[in-house]
Structure 1
Amino acid sequence: MPRRNKKNTKNRGVDSNSEDDSYNDNVSVYSYASENAPSSVNDSDELSSNERFEEKFSQALENATEKSAQTRAMALQSICEILMHRYMPEYVEDRKMTLIDCIEKSLRRGKGAEQVWGARLAPLLVLQLNGDENILKALNQFLLTTVQDKTVSFDARAKCCTALGLLNFLSAEDIGEFLNLMQFFEGIFSGSYLRGDDKTPISVSAEAGTLHAEALSAWGLLLTVLPAGDFVSWMSSGQSMLPSFKRLMGLLQSPHLDVRVAAGETLALILECGRSHDEDFLEEYLGDLIDTVKQLATDSHKYRAKRDRKAQRATFRDVLHYLEEDISPEINIRFGNECLVLDSWAIHHQYAALCAVMGPGMSSHLQENDFVRDIFQLGTKLNVTNELGKGKQSKLERHLMNAAAFKARTKSRGKNRDKRTAVFT
């Protein structure tokens, strides 16, 4: 299959488990030297920074095999934080088998925080190593087994869903396997479906709601690489391989904010994918959907937390604008002298999925990580030193570059979408 349709979703925020407060060494990572500084000083600073990170990484990797569960969990957290902020593929390549072993043991034998950080490490390792297919297959099995184990905490299972969705999105090889995994995810978030009497299930806790939301987001991420024509055919025919649109609409009534937001973004994503192939896709549901989204976009119920109401209204205003005007939210992500334009629900979704893994290091990887740049079709990474020497681009130059990138990306999406086909027997 050709390289996937590079889009993304709405930036629902960087992972809430922020490491900013506990990680103090990243100043040297983000700070680019003054253009007036001698190059030898810059090289020396970069070398010493690399050595510090490698030393910390080696120590954390050693601690990840200690007997104390707390020590192992803290070591995995430290490894994740380093890989979030630093692109170091050669160094990681030499230690990949040890890292895979750490992930497997943390998921199989660990508990709580150790499993959470083990699951978060899996996609970080793959993103460092340019989507190594052998690693993807090995990690997939560990993650699937952990998600299916109901004795594992909801938080750890949720992180495994996030990792599974991202790993399979990065592989983009087999549509049949995609559909099997999407059905697996539906089996999880179906726990938040409305009951037969159209009442919300009362047995879903806040922790279970988080798991359902992550499974739904992972389902949506895989949707962004399905051929639009095939997807429309499957949804329109009511085949059981995909959930019904009406049932997904019912998730908007969930008592949990994470589920409502994930459902709203996924519904917009479904319509965007379908409309690219059929302008009247699921038109019969549009009236009821708009009414429900309007209520959520203006929700002022006092029993909801103020922060929750604000986040919900912001999300559903964008969804409503798309449903009524067919206009997707557009966000410009600036990093260094470049800019990534998030101009569709699909590319928002992809960007948010990577942000959930990369955290505050996303900007650094957009600049340095060739694999991440390939996902968003950013081309060859820029030479920072040369760009600094040239001076700041004018507003017109930036506009022309973004317009050219947008045009090229749109043409590429259309070609890739038309060429993909899936055959089922």
Structure 2
Amino acid sequence: MFVGGETSEDAAQEDFQYKLKGFIDSTVDKSAKTRQGALDGLKTAMATRILYEFILERRMTITDSIERCLKKGKGEEQRAAASLACLLCIQLGSGIESEEVLKTLKPIFKNILADGSANIQARQAVATSLGLCTLVAEDDILDVHATMECFENLFTRSYARMDGTYTSINPQTSQLHTNALLSWALLLTICSANQLKDILRKHLTKLPRLLESEDVNMRIAAGETIALLFELARDMDADFEFENWDELCDKLNALATDCNKHRAKTDKRKQRSVFRDVLKAVEEGDFQSETIRFGMERMTIDSWVRKRTYDAFREFVGSGMNYHLQANEFIRDVFELGPPMLVDSATVKAMKISRFERPFYFFYTILSFFCLFHLHNSAAFKARTKARSKFRDKRVDVGEF
């Protein structure tokens, strides 16, 4: 019976891989609808499963397909291709393979981002994908900064003019600027101290102007970015002070208690919740912690840096986030969760037994985990350490603040 079950699992795996190969082949089909379906199929698979070995063998083929769809496709196809590029990097993790993916696609991403005549939905998707691809795969912090400048060229167009007036921006363009701001904020988390100092001087006095945007998503993105900048500034200098602190707190307080009748109730409710947290961050350096539970584990989101990073990954893997937190070695390494827990069928069975018996099963499961932990492949540990060290090295404090 066991052998039969094992054979059945092998057959299911072969069938799944056959479907994936079909999707890859279909990304070059003449029909745009077929290509779109293939891209979506690959996206779903990468968001919900770990496919490292399968993808590694076909990395160049998938990258070529993404490149072709970005160059020759239209809006929705380009959007799907941009998202697939990000999921490809998430699957490959931080290393030479994902660096090669980014090296191929980055020029195309930047061209689409800068092209005012390009499809707006494609530009929105690229603004989000380029940020996370850069976080995962960029090898040079100077190139990270250059990519951030591309994002700055977009979201700063939503800044109020010096006379207090605003450029008229339609909702689609505002969403593009919002996506660019969120990707820019994501890359703040891996900037060096010197870069952060320049950014604080250049942007912290201007970002509060975005709090007056008509777009609730832009207001929220601006508020969370301001909170993130204050957190990073205080990490460098516990006595950090902001010249327009009182004025900023007044603005944040107004948004945290907004009763504007011209705004939708759902927008006001969402905004008030976010800005109560942002106000605490600016006034007290406080963060409202959140616990994420996945499988037998839990993770605490206890900082704005961690929140921005978590939200960025969740944007792409969606409902598969808990699975990736359990099984994706790269994502686990980013959040310092250690190697994946080895959960076997006996553990799954223990999770389904009676409440009376459960504590005994969990005791032995935990004991087994610690034994297996020490037997974990040392080569895999070295790879994770190398990947994570790249993120740490980029945050080395240089000079006095």
Q: TM-score scaled to structure 2, two decimals?
A: 0.84
Structure 2 residue 245 is the aligned partner of structure 1 residue 286? yes
- State how 1:135-284 maps to structure 2 within 5 Å: 135-171=101-137, 173-201=139-167, 203-227=168-192, 229-235=193-199, 238=201, 243-284=202-243
Where in structure 1 do 4 or more consecutive aligned residues deviate above 4 Å?
Answer: 38-46, 386-390, 412-418
Structure 2 residue 70 is the aligned partner of structure 1 residue 103? no
Which stretch shifts more, 72-81 or 114-123?
72-81
Partner of 1:118: 81
Q: Is the 8 A contact 1:232 1:281 kept in 2?
A: no
Residues 222/41 of structure 1: CA separation in 2 closer, same or farther (3 Å cut):
farther
- Equivalent position to 2:278, from 300, 319, 341: 319
Distance 2:20 2:326 in 1: 22
Amino acid at match of 2:304: W
Distance 1:377 1:41 in 2: 38
- Over residues 20-70 of structure 1, what are the superposed CA-to-partner deviations in whole Å (9 max), with x where a residue is unaligned? xxxxxxxxxxxxxxxxxx866774564354334323322222221111112
- How far 1:418 moved relative to its partner? 7.2
Distance 2:101 2:340 in 1: 25
Q: Is the 8 A contact 2:75 2:120 kept in 1?
A: no
Q: Is the 8 A contact 1:191 1:204 kept in 2?
A: no
- How far 1:384 moved relative to its partner? 1.1
Amino acid at match of 1:358: V
Amino acid at match of 1:125: L
Residue 79 of structure 1 aligns to a residue whose secondary structure is helix
Residue 304 of structure 1 aligns to a residue whose secondary structure is coil
Structure 2 residue 89 is the aligned partner of structure 1 residue 130? no
Distance 2:4 2:270 in 1: 45
- How far 1:169 moved relative to its partner? 1.0
Distance 2:261 2:2 in 1: 58
Residue 384 of structure 1 aligns to a residue whose secondary structure is coil
Distance 2:2 2:302 in 1: 38
Which stretch shifts more, 211-220 or 244-253?
244-253
Distance 1:106 1:414 in 2: 31
Residue 226 of structure 2 aligns to a residue whose secondary structure is helix
Count of equivalent residues:
363
Residues 60/106 of structure 1: CA separation in 2 closer, same or farther (3 Å cut):
same
Q: Is the 8 A contact 1:271 1:282 kept in 2?
A: no
Residues 387/283 of structure 1: CA separation in 2 closer, same or farther (3 Å cut):
farther
- Equivalent position to 1:338, from 294, 297, 300: 297
Q: Unaligned regions of 5+ residues in structure 1, if any?
A: 1-37, 398-411
Distance 1:326 1:383 in 2: 38
Residues 172/137 of structure 1: CA separation in 2 closer, same or farther (3 Å cut):
closer
Overall identity of the aligned pairs, in %:
35
Partner of 2:377: none
Residues 348/413 of structure 1: CA separation in 2 closer, same or farther (3 Å cut):
farther
- Equivalent position to 2:313, from 354, 366, 379: 354
- How far 1:94 moved relative to its partner? 1.9
- State how 1:13-162 maps to structure 2 within 5 Å: 43=6, 46-131=9-94, 132=97, 133-162=99-128
Amino acid at match of 1:151: S
Q: TM-score scaled to structure 1, two decimals?
A: 0.79
Q: Is the 8 A contact 1:210 1:259 kept in 2?
A: yes
Residues 159/393 of structure 1: CA separation in 2 closer, same or farther (3 Å cut):
farther
Residues 282/235 of structure 1: CA separation in 2 closer, same or farther (3 Å cut):
farther
Distance 1:418 1:181 in 2: 17
Q: Unaligned regions of 5+ residues in structure 2, if any?
A: 351-359, 368-388
Partner of 1:380: 339
- Over residues 266-304 of structure 1, what are the superposed CA-to-partner deviations in whole Å (9 max), with x where a residue is unaligned? 000000000011123242222111111111111122322
Amino acid at match of 1:381: P
Higher gyration radius (CA): 2
Residues 106/418 of structure 1: CA separation in 2 closer, same or farther (3 Å cut):
closer
Q: Is the 8 A contact 1:297 1:315 kept in 2?
A: yes
Residue 301 of structure 1 aligns to a residue whose secondary structure is coil
Residue 288 of structure 2 aligns to a residue whose secondary structure is coil
Residues 151/297 of structure 1: CA separation in 2 closer, same or farther (3 Å cut):
same
Q: Is the 8 A contact 1:318 1:329 kept in 2?
A: yes
Residue 276 of structure 1 aligns to a residue whose secondary structure is helix
Q: Is the 8 A contact 1:370 1:381 kept in 2?
A: yes
- Over residues 90-126 of structure 1, what are the superposed CA-to-partner deviations in whole Å (9 max), with x where a residue is unaligned? 1111221221111111111110100000000011111
Q: Is the 8 A contact 1:232 1:277 kept in 2?
A: no
Partner of 2:380: none
CA-based RMSD of the aligned residues comes to: 2.6
Amino acid at match of 1:234: D
Residue 299 of structure 2 aligns to a residue whose secondary structure is strand
Which stretch shifts more, 203-212 or 61-70?
61-70
